[in-house]
């Protein structure tokens, strides 16, 4: 499912026009992004939580050349589904 399909689903379920559903989805995405950039956990009851995690700097070895490389630290986003979501998914 892509962004356009999600917006269409919101439009159909809430019976609103396309502009409103697009604005609603983009507003949610911006709020989520803002909170993650501020290193806050975003928890959606019955769905799960999103959290920004920092991956530490590490050394990697190229298996062909045996050359060692330093991989810089980076940010990533982690999603942890709620217990309810896990139960529904595994039924």
Fold type of domain 3-89: HU Protein; Chain A (4.10.520)
pLDDT at 76: 93
Residue 89 has pLDDT above 90, yes or no: no
Rg (CA), the chain: 19
Mean pLDDT computed over every residue of the chain: 94
Q: How confident is the model at residue 52 (pLDDT cuts 50, 70, 90)?
A: very high
Phi, psi at residue 61, to the nearest 5°?
-120, 125
62 in Cβ contact with 42 (< 8 Å): no
Domains of the chain, residue spans: 3-89
33 in Cβ contact with 39 (< 8 Å): no
């Amino acid at each position: 499912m892509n962004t356009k399909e999600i917006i269409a689903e919101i439009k159909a379920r809430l019976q609103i026009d396309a502009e409103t559903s697009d604005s609603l989805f983009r507003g949610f995405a911006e709020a989520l992004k803002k909170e993650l950039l501020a290193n806050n956990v975003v928890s959606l009851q019955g769905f799960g939580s999103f959290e920004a995690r920092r991956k530490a700097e590490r050394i990697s070895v190229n298996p062909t050349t045996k050359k060692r490389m330093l991989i810089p630290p980076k940010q990533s986003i982690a999603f942890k589904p709620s217990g309810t979501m896990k139960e529904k998914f595994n039924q």
